[in-house]
Amino acid sequence: MQILEKAPAKINLSLNVLYKREDGFHEVEMVMTTVDLADRIELNLDVSGQLSVESENRFVPNDERNLAYRAAKLLKDRYDVKEGVRIHIEKNIPVAAGLAGGSSDAAAVLRGLNQLWNLGISVDELAELGAEIGSDVSFCVYGGTALAKGRGEKIEALPAPPPCWVVLAKPTLGVSTQTVYQRLNVEKAHHPNTAGMVQALKQQDFHEICRHVGNTLEGVTLGLHEEVGQIKEHMHQAGADAVLMSGSGPTVFSLVDNSAKAQRIFNSLKGFCDEVYMVRMLGYQETT
Ligand code: ATP
Protein backbone atom coordinates (compact mmCIF):
# COMPACT_ATOMS: atom_id res chain seq x y z
CA MET A 1 0.00 0.00 0.00
CA GLN A 2 1.26 3.45 -0.91
CA ILE A 3 0.39 7.07 0.03
CA LEU A 4 1.65 10.15 -1.81
CA GLU A 5 1.78 13.50 -0.01
CA LYS A 6 2.75 16.95 -1.19
CA ALA A 7 4.95 18.94 1.23
CA PRO A 8 4.83 22.63 0.25
CA ALA A 9 7.36 25.30 1.27
CA LYS A 10 6.26 28.25 3.40
CA ILE A 11 7.24 31.88 3.36
CA ASN A 12 6.96 34.33 6.25
CA LEU A 13 4.97 37.36 5.18
CA SER A 14 5.83 38.71 8.60
CA LEU A 15 8.09 37.44 11.39
CA ASN A 16 8.31 39.27 14.70
CA VAL A 17 10.52 38.06 17.54
CA LEU A 18 9.13 39.41 20.80
CA TYR A 19 11.58 38.22 23.47
CA LYS A 20 13.74 35.32 24.62
CA ARG A 21 11.88 33.02 27.01
CA GLU A 22 13.22 31.35 30.14
CA ASP A 23 13.16 27.95 28.36
CA GLY A 24 15.63 29.32 25.77
CA PHE A 25 13.11 29.58 22.92
CA HIS A 26 12.08 32.91 21.46
CA GLU A 27 8.47 34.07 21.64
CA VAL A 28 7.41 34.86 18.06
CA GLU A 29 4.49 36.10 15.99
CA MET A 30 4.67 34.89 12.40
CA VAL A 31 2.30 35.21 9.49
CA MET A 32 3.04 32.29 7.20
CA THR A 33 1.63 31.04 3.94
CA THR A 34 2.37 28.05 1.71
CA VAL A 35 3.67 28.42 -1.85
CA ASP A 36 3.53 26.06 -4.81
CA LEU A 37 7.08 24.78 -4.46
CA ALA A 38 6.83 21.36 -2.89
CA ASP A 39 8.66 18.17 -1.97
CA ARG A 40 6.90 14.91 -2.92
CA ILE A 41 6.68 12.31 -0.19
CA GLU A 42 6.07 8.66 -1.02
CA LEU A 43 5.14 6.35 1.85
CA ASN A 44 5.25 2.58 1.33
CA LEU A 45 3.99 0.21 4.02
CA ASP A 46 6.73 -1.99 5.48
CA VAL A 47 5.12 -5.02 7.12
CA SER A 48 8.40 -5.98 8.81
CA GLY A 49 7.87 -2.97 11.09
CA GLN A 50 11.02 -1.08 10.07
CA LEU A 51 11.32 2.65 9.43
CA SER A 52 13.58 4.01 6.69
CA VAL A 53 14.00 7.23 4.74
CA GLU A 54 15.80 8.03 1.50
CA SER A 55 16.34 11.04 -0.70
CA GLU A 56 18.68 11.63 -3.63
CA ASN A 57 19.58 15.09 -2.27
CA ARG A 58 23.04 14.97 -0.72
CA PHE A 59 22.17 17.64 1.89
CA VAL A 60 19.31 15.57 3.29
CA PRO A 61 20.22 12.94 5.91
CA ASN A 62 19.06 9.36 5.10
CA ASP A 63 18.76 8.33 8.76
CA GLU A 64 17.15 9.20 12.09
CA ARG A 65 18.35 12.83 11.80
CA ASN A 66 15.80 13.36 9.02
CA LEU A 67 12.74 15.19 10.35
CA ALA A 68 10.51 12.93 8.22
CA TYR A 69 12.00 9.87 9.92
CA ARG A 70 11.50 11.50 13.34
CA ALA A 71 7.83 12.10 12.52
CA ALA A 72 7.36 8.41 11.66
CA LYS A 73 9.21 7.28 14.80
CA LEU A 74 7.12 9.57 17.00
CA LEU A 75 3.82 8.20 15.60
CA LYS A 76 4.99 4.59 15.74
CA ASP A 77 6.11 4.86 19.38
CA ARG A 78 3.20 6.98 20.61
CA TYR A 79 0.51 4.78 19.01
CA ASP A 80 2.37 1.49 19.38
CA VAL A 81 2.12 0.75 15.64
CA LYS A 82 3.38 -2.69 14.53
CA GLU A 83 3.85 -1.80 10.83
CA GLY A 84 6.75 0.25 9.47
CA VAL A 85 7.21 2.54 6.48
CA ARG A 86 9.69 3.27 3.71
CA ILE A 87 9.76 7.04 3.14
CA HIS A 88 11.04 8.47 -0.15
CA ILE A 89 11.54 12.24 -0.40
CA GLU A 90 11.74 13.93 -3.79
CA LYS A 91 13.46 17.11 -2.65
CA ASN A 92 12.42 20.21 -4.58
CA ILE A 93 12.54 22.77 -1.76
CA PRO A 94 16.05 24.19 -1.22
CA VAL A 95 17.63 22.89 2.02
CA ALA A 96 18.47 25.19 4.97
CA ALA A 97 16.80 28.02 3.11
CA GLY A 98 14.23 29.48 5.51
CA LEU A 99 11.42 27.70 3.63
CA ALA A 100 10.70 25.00 6.27
CA GLY A 101 11.45 22.14 3.87
CA GLY A 102 12.31 19.64 6.62
CA SER A 103 9.32 20.69 8.74
CA SER A 104 6.98 20.33 5.78
CA ASP A 105 8.33 16.83 5.05
CA ALA A 106 7.73 15.88 8.69
CA ALA A 107 4.18 17.26 8.55
CA ALA A 108 3.46 15.38 5.31
CA VAL A 109 4.66 12.16 6.95
CA LEU A 110 2.34 12.75 9.93
CA ARG A 111 -0.63 13.30 7.59
CA GLY A 112 0.28 10.39 5.32
CA LEU A 113 0.98 7.85 8.06
CA ASN A 114 -2.30 8.77 9.76
CA GLN A 115 -3.89 7.27 6.61
CA LEU A 116 -1.39 4.50 5.83
CA TRP A 117 -1.47 3.15 9.38
CA ASN A 118 -5.16 3.92 9.77
CA LEU A 119 -4.73 5.82 13.04
CA GLY A 120 -7.73 8.16 12.91
CA ILE A 121 -5.87 11.04 14.59
CA SER A 122 -7.44 14.53 14.25
CA VAL A 123 -5.54 17.26 12.39
CA ASP A 124 -5.27 19.26 15.65
CA GLU A 125 -3.65 16.29 17.39
CA LEU A 126 -1.26 15.82 14.47
CA ALA A 127 -0.29 19.50 14.78
CA GLU A 128 0.35 19.03 18.52
CA LEU A 129 2.56 16.02 17.80
CA GLY A 130 4.33 18.09 15.14
CA ALA A 131 5.35 20.66 17.74
CA GLU A 132 7.44 17.94 19.42
CA ILE A 133 9.49 17.63 16.21
CA GLY A 134 10.04 21.31 15.44
CA SER A 135 8.52 24.78 15.81
CA ASP A 136 7.31 25.06 12.19
CA VAL A 137 5.85 21.53 11.92
CA SER A 138 2.46 22.44 13.44
CA PHE A 139 1.88 25.14 10.82
CA CYS A 140 2.96 22.73 8.07
CA VAL A 141 0.42 20.12 9.23
CA TYR A 142 -2.39 22.59 8.42
CA GLY A 143 -0.70 24.50 5.58
CA GLY A 144 -2.59 27.45 4.11
CA THR A 145 -2.18 30.84 5.75
CA ALA A 146 -1.91 31.32 9.50
CA LEU A 147 -0.70 33.39 12.40
CA ALA A 148 1.72 31.36 14.51
CA LYS A 149 2.50 32.36 18.09
CA GLY A 150 4.38 30.91 21.04
CA ARG A 151 7.53 29.37 19.58
CA GLY A 152 5.53 28.87 16.38
CA GLU A 153 3.23 26.04 17.48
CA LYS A 154 0.08 28.04 18.35
CA ILE A 155 -1.77 28.33 15.06
CA GLU A 156 -4.69 30.60 14.12
CA ALA A 157 -5.97 30.21 10.56
CA LEU A 158 -6.09 33.34 8.37
CA PRO A 159 -7.66 34.06 4.98
CA ALA A 160 -5.47 33.23 1.98
CA PRO A 161 -3.72 36.24 0.41
CA PRO A 162 -5.23 37.53 -2.84
CA PRO A 163 -3.75 35.66 -5.84
CA CYS A 164 -0.27 36.87 -6.71
CA TRP A 165 3.13 35.64 -7.87
CA VAL A 166 6.07 34.85 -5.64
CA VAL A 167 9.63 34.91 -6.98
CA LEU A 168 12.07 33.14 -4.67
CA ALA A 169 15.84 33.35 -4.89
CA LYS A 170 18.27 31.45 -2.70
CA PRO A 171 21.97 32.31 -2.65
CA THR A 172 24.28 29.25 -2.58
CA LEU A 173 25.01 29.61 1.13
CA GLY A 174 22.91 27.90 3.80
CA VAL A 175 21.98 29.62 7.05
CA SER A 176 21.74 28.03 10.49
CA THR A 177 18.59 29.22 12.27
CA GLN A 178 20.36 28.74 15.60
CA THR A 179 23.24 31.06 14.65
CA VAL A 180 20.85 33.78 13.51
CA TYR A 181 18.89 33.65 16.79
CA GLN A 182 22.12 33.68 18.81
CA ARG A 183 23.20 36.90 17.10
CA LEU A 184 19.85 38.63 17.38
CA ASN A 185 19.58 41.69 19.62
CA VAL A 186 15.81 41.74 20.17
CA GLU A 187 15.73 45.31 21.59
CA LYS A 188 17.59 46.87 18.66
CA ALA A 189 16.05 44.80 15.85
CA HIS A 190 13.19 45.82 13.55
CA HIS A 191 9.73 44.67 14.67
CA PRO A 192 7.08 44.35 11.97
CA ASN A 193 3.45 45.21 12.61
CA THR A 194 1.79 41.77 12.83
CA ALA A 195 -1.68 43.19 13.49
CA GLY A 196 -1.32 45.32 10.34
CA MET A 197 -0.49 42.23 8.26
CA VAL A 198 -3.39 40.25 9.73
CA GLN A 199 -5.75 43.15 8.97
CA ALA A 200 -4.42 43.43 5.40
CA LEU A 201 -5.11 39.71 4.84
CA LYS A 202 -8.61 40.02 6.26
CA GLN A 203 -9.26 42.96 3.92
CA GLN A 204 -7.67 41.09 0.97
CA ASP A 205 -5.64 44.23 0.25
CA PHE A 206 -2.52 43.31 -1.75
CA HIS A 207 -1.02 46.80 -1.44
CA GLU A 208 -1.38 46.75 2.37
CA ILE A 209 0.07 43.22 2.55
CA CYS A 210 3.12 44.51 0.67
CA ARG A 211 3.37 47.51 2.99
CA HIS A 212 3.40 45.31 6.11
CA VAL A 213 5.98 42.63 5.17
CA GLY A 214 8.76 42.56 7.75
CA ASN A 215 11.17 40.18 9.47
CA THR A 216 13.03 40.74 12.75
CA LEU A 217 15.73 38.23 11.69
CA GLU A 218 16.49 39.87 8.35
CA GLY A 219 18.98 42.40 9.74
CA VAL A 220 21.07 39.63 11.34
CA THR A 221 21.37 37.56 8.14
CA LEU A 222 21.99 40.68 6.02
CA GLY A 223 24.92 41.46 8.31
CA LEU A 224 26.33 37.94 7.88
CA HIS A 225 25.88 37.51 4.10
CA GLU A 226 26.03 40.41 1.68
CA GLU A 227 24.51 38.26 -1.13
CA VAL A 228 21.15 38.51 0.63
CA GLY A 229 21.20 42.31 0.40
CA GLN A 230 22.29 42.13 -3.26
CA ILE A 231 19.36 39.89 -4.14
CA LYS A 232 16.97 42.24 -2.34
CA GLU A 233 18.36 45.17 -4.31
CA HIS A 234 18.00 43.28 -7.61
CA MET A 235 14.38 42.46 -6.86
CA HIS A 236 13.53 46.05 -5.90
CA GLN A 237 15.16 47.38 -9.07
CA ALA A 238 13.27 44.85 -11.21
CA GLY A 239 9.99 46.26 -9.87
CA ALA A 240 8.85 43.89 -7.08
CA ASP A 241 5.86 45.10 -5.06
CA ALA A 242 7.41 43.75 -1.84
CA VAL A 243 10.73 42.08 -1.01
CA LEU A 244 11.57 40.15 2.17
CA MET A 245 13.84 37.42 3.49
CA SER A 246 11.92 34.31 4.61
CA GLY A 247 12.51 32.84 8.10
CA SER A 248 16.17 33.01 9.10
CA GLY A 249 17.10 33.09 5.40
CA PRO A 250 18.92 33.15 3.17
CA THR A 251 16.01 32.84 0.67
CA VAL A 252 14.56 36.18 -0.39
CA PHE A 253 11.11 36.45 -1.98
CA SER A 254 9.26 39.07 -3.99
CA LEU A 255 5.52 39.49 -4.10
CA VAL A 256 4.24 40.59 -7.49
CA ASP A 257 0.67 41.15 -8.67
CA ASN A 258 1.17 40.43 -12.37
CA SER A 259 2.91 37.65 -14.24
CA ALA A 260 4.84 39.84 -16.72
CA LYS A 261 6.53 41.67 -13.87
CA ALA A 262 7.18 38.41 -12.02
CA GLN A 263 8.79 36.97 -15.17
CA ARG A 264 11.01 40.07 -15.46
CA ILE A 265 12.19 39.67 -11.86
CA PHE A 266 12.74 35.93 -12.40
CA ASN A 267 14.83 36.59 -15.53
CA SER A 268 16.90 39.32 -13.91
CA LEU A 269 17.73 37.06 -10.96
CA LYS A 270 18.47 33.97 -13.06
CA GLY A 271 21.85 35.24 -14.25
CA PHE A 272 22.83 36.22 -10.72
CA CYS A 273 21.62 33.37 -8.57
CA ASP A 274 21.49 29.55 -9.13
CA GLU A 275 18.23 28.76 -7.39
CA VAL A 276 15.37 30.97 -8.57
CA TYR A 277 11.68 29.98 -8.64
CA MET A 278 8.55 31.71 -9.85
CA VAL A 279 5.50 30.20 -8.15
CA ARG A 280 1.96 30.94 -7.06
CA MET A 281 0.85 31.20 -3.47
CA LEU A 282 -1.23 28.24 -2.33
CA GLY A 283 -2.77 30.14 0.56
CA TYR A 284 -5.55 27.68 1.33
CA GLN A 285 -5.16 24.58 3.50
CA GLU A 286 -3.61 21.73 1.56
CA THR A 287 -3.94 18.51 3.44
CA THR A 288 -4.26 15.83 0.79
P1 ATP B 1 13.10 26.57 8.75
O2 ATP B 1 12.55 27.53 7.74
O3 ATP B 1 12.01 25.75 9.44
O4 ATP B 1 14.10 27.15 9.70
P5 ATP B 1 14.95 25.60 6.79
O6 ATP B 1 14.23 25.71 5.48
O7 ATP B 1 15.87 26.73 7.12
O8 ATP B 1 13.88 25.43 7.94
P9 ATP B 1 15.49 22.81 6.32
O10 ATP B 1 15.53 22.77 4.83
O11 ATP B 1 14.30 22.27 6.99
O12 ATP B 1 15.79 24.29 6.84
O13 ATP B 1 16.81 22.03 6.79
C14 ATP B 1 17.59 22.37 7.91
C15 ATP B 1 18.50 21.18 8.23
O16 ATP B 1 17.71 20.08 8.67
C17 ATP B 1 19.29 20.68 7.03
O18 ATP B 1 20.59 21.18 7.06
C19 ATP B 1 19.26 19.15 7.13
O20 ATP B 1 20.51 18.63 7.55
C21 ATP B 1 18.25 18.82 8.23
N22 ATP B 1 17.12 18.00 7.74
C23 ATP B 1 16.55 17.00 8.41
N24 ATP B 1 15.52 16.47 7.73
C25 ATP B 1 15.41 17.15 6.58
C26 ATP B 1 14.52 17.07 5.48
N27 ATP B 1 13.54 16.15 5.40
N28 ATP B 1 14.67 17.97 4.49
C29 ATP B 1 15.65 18.91 4.57
N30 ATP B 1 16.53 19.00 5.57
C31 ATP B 1 16.42 18.16 6.59
What structural domains does the chain harbor? Answer: 2-157 (3.30.230.10), 165-280 (3.30.70.890)
Closest CA to 25 of 181, 130, 189: 181
Report CA(101)–ligand 1 centroid distance (Å). Answer: 6
Ligand 1 site, residue 9, Cβ cutoff 6 A:
no
Report the mean per-residue pLDDT for the chain. Answer: 95
Ligand 1 site, residue 94, Cβ cutoff 6 A:
no
Q: Among 60, 137, 217, 248, name the best residue to mutate to test ligand 1's pocket (greatest count of ligand atoms within 8 A of Cβ).
A: 60
What's the confidence (pLDDT) of residue 274?
A: 85
Between the alpha carbon of residue 72 and those of residues 10, 81, 129, the distances in Å are 22, 10, 11
Lowest mean pLDDT across 57-71, 74-88, 169-183: 169-183
Q: For ligand 1, atom 23, which residue shows the shortest CA distance?
A: 66
What's the confidence (pLDDT) of residue 286?
A: 46
Mark whether 10 is an active-site residue.
yes
- DSSP structure string for 132-164: HH-TTHHHHHHBSEEEEETTTTEEEE-PPPPS-
Provide the 3-class DSSP secondary structure of residue 113: helix
Span 96-108, average pLDDT: 96
Number of Cβ atoms within 10 Å of the Cβ of 274: 11
Q: In angstroms, rounded to a whole number, what is the distance separating the alpha carbons of residues 209 and 13?
A: 8
In this prediction the pTM is: 0.95
Ligand 1 site, residue 98, Cβ cutoff 6 A:
yes
Q: Among 95, 175, 184, name the best residue to mutate to test ligand 1's pocket (greatest count of ligand atoms within 8 A of Cβ).
A: 95
pLDDT 10s digits, 48-77? 999 999 999 999 999 999 999 999 999 999
Annotated catalytic residue, options 91, 136, 232, 241? 136
Report CA(152)–ligand 1 centroid distance (Å). Answer: 16
Q: In angstroms, rounded to a whole number, what is the distance separating the alpha carbons of residues 59 and 173?
A: 12
Mark whether 202 is an active-site residue.
no
